[in-house]
Amino acid sequence: MSEIDRGDEHRLLDRFRAERDEASFRALYRAATPYLWAFARRLAALDDAEAEELVQETWVRAVERVGTFRGESAVRTWLGGVLVNCWRERRRGQWREVETLENGPIVAAEPLPERVPTIDLERALASLPDSLRVVVVLHDLEGLTHVEIAESLGVPAGTSKRRLFDARRELRRRLGGGSLGGAP
């Protein structure tokens, strides 16, 4: 979180949970919402209206379920999980499993180079199918492991690895081939 450290965020959440203290909630909201907004925009393929709805629903659910926070992670990480669940529920009707990997070998994909202009990368990311975009956002941007992604999405870890490989390959293609520096 931007303005407060992990210890402070835990204390604020504990105070809100115990006393329903509005000042604590406002401080958490101000600190976490910019992160949630950026995260939601990526999941929503840069659709600002959908991102706004996701952030609002995330806060509603977080307040409803504040008692479920065990304090084992950062509050921001917990809120990110709530946001992913909100996003998945919105997609449930559209969500399709393209594949399931049992025990096949996974070839690790190399990370994307950082020289791609941000706007091009954001657009390419937004154009990916939901099942690929969410894995890139969770792994490459949020830093989750494949085990954490698998738990969050309800898929095997191998599926997460395969989707990341496929997503990175598709991003390279959409950004102009192997170098990622060319025009799409």
End-to-end CA, the chain? 35
Number of neighbours of residue 118 by Cβ within 10 angstroms: 8
Q: At 82, which amino acid appears?
A: V
Which pLDDT score is estimated for 161? Answer: 92
State which H helix or E strand residue 162 sits in: helix 157-174
Which pLDDT score is estimated for 74? Answer: 82
- Per DSSP, the residues of 3-55 read SS-HHHHHHHHHHHHHH--HHHHHHHHHHHHHHHHHHHHHHTTT-HHHHHHHH
**Domain locations in the chain as residue ranges:** 6-91, 96-184
CA distance 70 to 86: 20
Listed as own residue / partner, the contacts of 146-151 with beta carbons closer than 8 Å and 24 or more positions apart are none
Number of neighbours of residue 152 by Cβ within 10 angstroms: 19
List, in order, residues 6 or more apart from 22 with CB less than 8 Å away.
none
pLDDT digits (tens, 9 = 90+) for 97-118: 333 333 333 333 344 444 445 5
The mean pLDDT value for 128-142 works out to 88
Which pLDDT score is estimated for 154? Answer: 82
CATH number of 96-184: 1.10.10.10
Location of structure tokens 């992670």: 73
pLDDT digits (tens, 9 = 90+) for 30-84: 888 998 999 999 888 888 898 999 999 999 999 888 888 888 778 888 898 899 8
CATH fold of the domain at 6-91: Rna Polymerase Sigma Factor; Chain: A (1.10.1740)
- Per DSSP, the residues of 88-157 read HHHHTTT-------SS---PPPPPPPTTS-HHHHHHHHHHS-HHHHHHHIIIIIT---HHHHHHHHTS-H
CA distance 147 to 176: 31
